[in-house]
Amino acid sequence: MKEILQKYLPERAVDPSFELIKENGVYLKIVNERVTRHGDYRRLPGGMHQITVNANLNKYRFFITLVHEIAHLVTFRKYGSNIKPHGAEWKNTFRQLMLPFLNPAVFPDNLLPLLARHFRNPRASSDTDAALSLALKQFDPDNDKNYIFELPYGSLFRIYNGKVFRKGHRKIKRYECVEVHSGKVYLFNPNAEVELLPGS
């Protein structure tokens, strides 16, 4: 397991992550990319605790996702299932699990202030923290995707399922975008990754 983790995690996070996995009885599955999520936690019939993490994540995002899901497991064990999935109990647990790793031995210096701010009140997904998401993206392999907030107003873009949208105005935190085929309006996070269409 350690040899596998070395492929996916920052070097100094491998041993402590292995211990976290072992002491919590985690069955870890590294899976092909799922567009809608980076990872998930599931209690299987028979009491086994399964965590899945996408294989295509860069090592820092992979590590944050792994600890995020282990925090669900630890929170479930401590408080039971009658709590909000990303409520105060999970936030506190996630923060406590991550705190020992928020140092330059694990993360690059430019990520540390953003991580420190994020973990004051961790969100359900690091993707909804635009500054952190953008900083983590620099460690991804190059791709042809853009963030919604980078696109000009009125431009056309395609999402993972092939649907085409026109970018509209920002409403509080999200952008209103019209699906070209149906005319329906959808809300997009500013840092959703999409494909800008030529001529837009």
Class of domain 146-196 as given by CATH: mainly beta
Residue-by-residue DSSP string for 114-138: HHHHHTTS--S-GGGSHHHHHHHHT
pLDDT at 200: 63
**End-to-end distance of the chain based on CA atoms, in angstroms?**
47
Shortest CA distance to 147 belongs to which of 121, 112, 172, 174?
Answer: 174
Phi, psi torsion values for 71, nearest 5 degrees:
-60, -35
At position 83, the amino acid (one-letter code) is I
145, exposed or middle or buried, with CB in 10 Å at 0-12, 13-18, 19+?
middle
Cα(10)–Cα(122) distance, rounded to whole angstroms? 21
* Number of C-beta neighbours around residue 81 at 10 A: 8
pLDDT at 42: 92
Give the residue range(s) of CATH 2.30.30.30 domains in the chain.
Answer: 146-196
Fold of 2-137: Zincin-like (3.30.2010)
Cα(25)–Cα(78) distance, rounded to whole angstroms? 15
What pTM was estimated for this model as a whole? 0.82
Residue 37 token pair: 């999520």
Residues 6+ away with beta carbon under 8 Å from 98: 64, 67, 115, 119, 122
At position 128, the amino acid (one-letter code) is T
3-state helix, strand, coil in the chain (%, to 5): 40, 25, 40
Give the residue range(s) of CATH 3.30.2010 domains in the chain.
Answer: 2-137
- Spatial contact of 44 and 52, defined as CB atoms under 8 Å apart: no
Query: Over its length of 200 residues, how does the chain's per-residue pLDDT go in tens digits?
Result: 889 999 999 999 999 999 999 999 999 999 987 777 899 999 888 888 999 999 999 999 999 999 999 999 999 999 998 999 999 999 999 999 999 999 999 999 999 999 999 999 998 887 778 789 889 988 987 777 888 888 999 999 999 889 999 999 999 888 999 999 999 999 998 888 899 998 76
The 3-state DSSP class for residue 173 equals: coil
Beta-ladder partners of 187: 176
Distances (CA, A) of 157 to 34, 129, 185, 196, 200: 20, 22, 14, 4, 8
